[in-house]
Structure 1
Amino acid sequence: MRAGFRKQQSGDASNSSIPESVPLTRKTAEASSQVTVTSGEDKAAPGAKSPQRSFLGLALDCVLVLLPLAFVGLLIAAALQDKKPESVVGDRIQDALLLSPTIFPIVFAAICGKTMKSIALYRSQDGMSLLLLEHLSGASSLFSALERVVILRSFGAIGIVTIVMWLLSPLGGQALSLRLLSKQHLYANTKQNATYLGPEFLNSTALDSGSGTQSHLSRITAIYLSALLSSAEVQGSPRDVWGNPKTEIPHWGPGETDASEWKPVISTNHTARFVNLIGLPVKAFGDKTTSEFVVSSIYMEVRCSSLEYTDTETFKQNLKGPLVTSSYTGGTFPNGTTSIVFPKMPTTNARLTTFLYVSNASWTRFESDITQPLEIFFGARVWETSTLGLPISLATCTVVPRGLETKLACAGHVCRAVAARKQPAELKGGGIWAVRAIMTRGHFCEMGTSYSSAKTGMTERFIFDGFVGEMGQDHSTKLYQIPLADFERRFQQVLNTFWYAATSQIFSNGNFSSFFNAPYALQTPAEVIEDLGLHYVCHWVWFGLALAIVFLLEGLAITNAVLRFRTRIPDIFGYVSSLTIGNKYCEGRDLEQSSALDGLERARALGHVQFQLADVKGGEDVGRIAFVPRGSQDEIGMSRVMFHRYYD
């Protein structure tokens, strides 16, 4: 067979009508001139054309060069929005980024597919392997690139490069999405000063004189009862009825009694965790801020040793020392006699149902050292019969001022305690006398009275139940029946609530600038985080990735335009019409077209003709598959391709 081929080649050489084969190397200028002169001597065949550049194709190539620049502009616009507040312009850029994942793969496919075909066409002018030509001209998508690598079993650099190139299409689409530019809340960290009511306000009270009592007792009563009668939701909330944060005592272990470390407070909606039903007035910051700062406060720590049922005479006989004389003529007098008297209501002259006395010896120690506890006795009427004095529930307790530092966390103006630690308490002379006035003037026992010596007051109801419910006509309480721990905790709450209410009126109005409150308004440093609102954030990793892919795409578009301009051969790769070039079955049927036509031009010229892939040796044992026009069955014995036949 090889000999036959050589013989045919020798015979062809003797035929002067067959032109010599064209070498695949570049011609010199002299050789090109000789070929041109020689070809000019012959007459051109009918329908022959010279290769020409398509101006429409060149215009399309220029458009493809400009398309990546639009994405560059979009990237720059997105980068310029970084850290800028929400705006109409930014939203329009985000709208454009919503469309980019759809548009970018289309543009990428147009440029990348066209560029690889342009490289194949340009290199085919000088010759290259069919394997590389198939890789470059046929890998028009990720799947087709993978298909060629697998089917051709070509795992070289070109196959890997084409696969990686097509993988950049979806990656670039994702990089040019809202992943590039998003909206986030931007925060500014600053240090500012918060204002709060310092503990110095406890150094004075309006109840230390008759005139002061007449002027302020009604307001004190209103503040106290507002806190006492607030709903269970408010009482269990970390803020009081006016929104002031309540102080809380963390749970210290047995070995942490004097610990100065911060301890977190327990976040539960339970009234028992608060030392006071009135919160500490603070002035935080704007609505779009979160802040944290530390405030100082003082509270009365109550510890009770006993809660029992007894009567006034037995109580008096069991006293181990004299009592401080009260302003309502109770206590121990200079002649040594002791009188246990329930205070009177100033308006009705009726006796109240509770009393509060202080041990004289403990008061003497307290005046010189406030760390020494006061010994107090709290009694409440019990409506039972007794052969001696009046039946009472009697609690024996100690009271001592304690200092507390509380860490507040605020969201805007709304604050709550998150941690606390102990600190020394400081009370000046006025504060000591304020404590004496609370203990001896009887106004604490007057708060929430029933105006009847036969009915329980609101303070007693709160101590008994933990809240103030409906008061029946014959309702009375037996405080001695409740657990000592519950009495101790609730008595501490009402005592501190009255102490705060009796020393300042700021709790209900929060006016730090008033004449009475301004001296006690303290500044404390605060860590403030301000929410600046929604801002655009450019994610620079996605920006860099998108920019690199777009620049690569721009390079491919420029390469395509340059190679298309420099390529002299027609674009025939990838077109079905290219199968008619040199096809002997098209000869003599008026189907010959110039070989200088592009694939689409040839398809337009032969578009009316029907072709098929058929067996052109249907009558022989071994067939041959060829691309032939319809209607030539009789001439060449054409038939359909069969599975059971062999083909050469």
Structure 2
Amino acid sequence: MEETIPHTRIRDNWHGGPKTLEHWDAPTVFGWIFSVLLTFTPLCFIALAITAIRLDNQPHSDYGKTVLQLTVLSPSLYPILFAALVGRFYRVFGRWCLESRGGVNLPVLEQLIGSQNLATAIERIFVIRTNAVIGIIILTSWLLSPLGGQSSSRLLQDAKFDLVSNGTVYYADPAYQVSHSRWIDYRHSVGATYAASLLSSSKQKASPRDIWGLPKIPQLSQDRLDNGSYDLYDVNKSDLVSGKASYASLLGIKIQGLVRPNKPTKFNFTISTSYFHVDCDFVDSFDPLRGDLTLNQTNIVDLFYKYPSFSAFNILPQSWFNADGEEDDINSPYQFIYVKQMRGSHLYVVKCATHEIKVETTIHCGPGDPATTCEPRQQRRLSTENQTGTSLFPPSVTRSDLRLKELSYALYAWAQASGDKDGVQPSPSEMYLMKDENPYEFTSQLPWTKEDLAKFPYVFSRRMTTAFNTYWDAGLNPGGHTNVSYSTIPLHNMNGLETGQTYKDSFMNTTMGTRITTIDVYSAQRIWVGLLLFTTMVLQILAICGLIIEILIQGPDVLGFASTLTRDNTFVPLPAGGSHLDGPERARCLKNMRLELVDVRPEDETGYLAVRAVSSAKGQDTSVIEGSVKSRKWVHLNRRRLYE
């Protein structure tokens, strides 16, 4: 195609006349204000990183939620800010190099001006293929953009923090609660508590808490009793669940003072308690109706002559075991016999000895309701004498002149506690000792089998220990054991059964415990905070350097603008002047001009590509004047044609 370009009509003073390189007008002032504000915008991200550090391990708050929302927006804002400041730096740095004495290498200038984002920085490395070091430096700086954006979104995370505090925990101490003078008045309450414990399911019996949610104390294993170990050990919960180990009592220890805030809270504390260890063994089986009874068998029969048809616990006179007249003391075992009697005939005799076992147990509660979470975690045996040289049991049990009466009455009451007994149906206590489940199941009184006798001595002793201590503990606080309130601070008084008052606020022993309250906090991710600070500091340095260089530059900004193609171009007919204009100003002044890339030597063997001005449209403003430019021939581009 071939065309003759008519004269182009452009304003003679299209550029506004000659001007100095430094001139101030409203757009220039606003441009500099914006440039200064943009330069120091990275400080906002530095402040965000510092704020994240200050929020580390701080509880959730409205202020923290606002900061979290900012971190959500940051990945979108950071790359935009990074591109604006780093792109400006490379552009003004290229302009400064262009103005400096000696100029700048053209490929370097092309890389500086063209690297306005990460993608173009990569592109310029491959398309220019010179000055690879400079290209890699530019690319490395642009790689900080996604790194900083991702870092800003990962500054804070939700976490848990444990607030640890120490406080007083109150727990029932048998040494202060035993009462014997009015036990008879509360026998029904004691019996009901004991019967309810026996009636509970096997799962409940194996639970670390009793029916009312109070933590139980495990028995020491027979191995630890035999070797006399006093080492601390972890409570084996699986053995307690499977029945290989037992609790000292089916009733737990009353705990108070566990004040919980409205947050997940855990408690750890150690309590010292005592229980009766009952060591039993099967010693004899005989028919009292036959002759030739031994002296011991005769004594046993004499104990039962008033009760010919029931199974019961009975106390054999102490001289029956201490034939040598040995003096009793608090450390010697208290001995008794348990006799099972078939209806009017066969007797089974079990010899038992009981002594105090003192243990120190670590109780853990939480993070939920203590009534559903308290359980023993660790335990160790203590000497039967504490630091003051006294037993944990009360004087009525530890004094040799009183304990026979006290324990004898307890055993007698225990035999009557679990319901009526006859020669046809075994008592619930006996059912628990031999079967360990369904103690109130109706079944006939049957002789002991080899399988039953195989439970002696260890299994039977463990169950006897649990059963007796359950009844004993039921009598310690018959009016208050079921009044469970872990968070209550007890009243320190001695009002109890001896004074005839309701035994609800029993005297409690104390121990120091640890309360661990778990709260929701913010966790500052220090690696990401460090990366954000690093990338933002680099960005801030480049921003300040870019502003300083921009101040030092004197010439107009003509690099990277399409309007620069009209400068000193013989194929773009313009009246003289306008060299002081930068790219945007030149584009505004020539807003009606159209450009195209064409072959301006269509008649030659090889073409020549140039940007030319397209003819002005008809009806152009009459205020323009004609330019004196010769018409030229041109053709559109051809891929198969050779061009210089």
TM-score > 0.5, shorter chain as reference: yes
Q: Which is richer in helix?
A: 1
Aligned to 2:248: 275
Residue 262 of structure 1, CA deviation: 0.9
Aligned to 1:471: 441
TM-superposition CA deviations, 1:366-392 (whole Å, max 9, x none) = 973444444433223445xxxxx5234
Q: Provide closer, same or farther for how the CA distance between residues 134 and 256 of structure 1 changes in structure 2, counting only shifts above 3 A.
A: farther
For residue 431 of structure 1, the aligned residue among 391, 397, 413 is 397
- Whole-angstrom distance in 1 between the partners of 2:304 and 2:297: 17
Deviates more, 1:568-577 or 1:152-161: 152-161
Are residue 340 (structure 1) and residue 303 (structure 2) matched?
A: yes
Alpha carbon RMSD of aligned pairs, Å? Answer: 3.9
Are residue 85 (structure 1) and residue 40 (structure 2) matched?
A: no
- Whole-angstrom distance in 1 between the partners of 2:249 and 2:141: 71
Counterpart secondary structure, 2:571: helix
Corresponding letter in the other structure for 1:360: S
For residue 114 of structure 2, the aligned residue among 130, 138, 148 is 138
Verify the 8 A CA contact 2:176 2:394 in the aligned structure 1: no
- Whole-angstrom distance in 2 between the partners of 1:163 and 1:250: 71
Residue 83 of structure 1, CA deviation: 4.8
TM-superposition CA deviations, 1:207-250 (whole Å, max 9, x none) = xxxx6242121221122122222334432221112222111146
Aligned to 1:14: none
TM-superposition CA deviations, 1:46-71 (whole Å, max 9, x none) = 87654456344323313313533443
Identity across matched positions, percent: 23
Aligned to 1:454: 424
- Whole-angstrom distance in 1 between the partners of 2:40 and 2:326: 90
Aligned to 2:184: 214
Verify the 8 A CA contact 2:493 2:506 in the aligned structure 1: no
Deviates more, 1:69-78 or 1:133-142: 69-78
Structure-to-structure mapping, 1:256-267, within 5 angstroms: 257-267=227-237
Verify the 8 A CA contact 1:205 1:434 in the aligned structure 2: no
Corresponding letter in the other structure for 2:465: Q
Residue 446 of structure 1, CA deviation: 0.9
Structure-to-structure mapping, 1:220-619, within 5 angstroms: 220-249=190-219, 257-268=227-238, 269-270=241-242, 272-287=245-260, 288-306=264-282, 310-312=286-288, 317-318=293-294, 320=296, 339-341=302-304, 352-358=310-316, 360-362=319-321, 368-382=328-342, 390-411=345-366, 413=370, 414-425=373-384, 426=391, 427=393, 429-432=395-398, 433-434=402-403, 436-439=405-408, 442-450=412-420, 452-468=422-438, 471-472=441-442, 475-476=444-445, 478=447, 480=449, 481-482=451-452, 483-484=454-455, 485-505=458-478, 506-509=480-483, 513-516=492-495, 521-531=508-518, 533-539=519-525, 542-587=528-573, 594-606=578-590, 609-616=593-600
TM-score, with normalisation over the residues of structure 1?
Answer: 0.76
Corresponding letter in the other structure for 2:338: F
- Whole-angstrom distance in 1 between the partners of 2:337 and 2:33: 103
Q: Provide closer, same or farther for how the CA distance between residues 469 and 228 of structure 1 changes in structure 2, counting only shifts above 3 A.
A: closer
Counterpart secondary structure, 2:249: coil
Residue 487 of structure 1, CA deviation: 3.0
Aligned to 2:626: none
Aligned to 1:97: 71
Aligned to 2:4: none
- Whole-angstrom distance in 2 between the partners of 1:314 and 1:105: 104
Verify the 8 A CA contact 2:572 2:611 in the aligned structure 1: no
Counterpart secondary structure, 1:299: strand
- Whole-angstrom distance in 2 between the partners of 1:478 and 1:117: 105
Q: Provide closer, same or farther for how the CA distance between residues 220 and 138 of structure 1 changes in structure 2, counting only shifts above 3 A.
A: same
Corresponding letter in the other structure for 2:492: S
Runs of at least 5 residues in structure 1 that lack an aligned partner in the other structure:
1-42, 324-330, 332-337, 345-349, 384-388
- Whole-angstrom distance in 2 between the partners of 1:241 and 1:261: 30
Verify the 8 A CA contact 1:284 1:410 in the aligned structure 2: no
Corresponding letter in the other structure for 2:359: L
- Whole-angstrom distance in 2 between the partners of 1:460 and 1:167: 81
Deviates more, 1:552-561 or 1:107-116: 552-561
Q: Provide closer, same or farther for how the CA distance between residues 637 and 235 of structure 1 changes in structure 2, counting only shifts above 3 A.
A: same
Structure-to-structure mapping, 1:105-254, within 5 angstroms: 105-126=79-100, 127-154=103-130, 158-177=134-153, 179-201=154-176, 204-206=178-180, 212-249=182-219
Counterpart secondary structure, 2:281: strand
Runs of at least 5 residues in structure 2 that lack an aligned partner in the other structure:
1-11, 385-390, 485-489, 497-504, 617-630
Verify the 8 A CA contact 1:246 1:280 in the aligned structure 2: yes
Counterpart secondary structure, 1:110: helix
- Whole-angstrom distance in 1 between the partners of 2:305 and 2:330: 27
Verify the 8 A CA contact 2:277 2:355 in the aligned structure 1: yes
TM-superposition CA deviations, 1:601-640 (whole Å, max 9, x none) = 34445555554445555665544444445689x9545343
TM-score, with normalisation over the residues of structure 2?
Answer: 0.76
TM-superposition CA deviations, 1:321-361 (whole Å, max 9, x none) = 997xxxxxxx6xxxxxx5132887xxxxx964323334535
Q: Provide closer, same or farther for how the CA distance between residues 445 and 582 of structure 1 changes in structure 2, counting only shifts above 3 A.
A: same
Aligned length: 571
Which of structures 1 and 2 has the larger relative contact order (alpha carbons within 8 angstroms, sep 6+)? 2
Q: Provide closer, same or farther for how the CA distance between residues 140 and 182 of structure 1 changes in structure 2, counting only shifts above 3 A.
A: same
Counterpart secondary structure, 1:168: helix
Verify the 8 A CA contact 1:237 1:270 in the aligned structure 2: no
Verify the 8 A CA contact 1:342 1:353 in the aligned structure 2: no
Verify the 8 A CA contact 2:431 2:440 in the aligned structure 1: no
Corresponding letter in the other structure for 1:575: F
Corresponding letter in the other structure for 1:173: G
Residue 552 of structure 1, CA deviation: 4.0
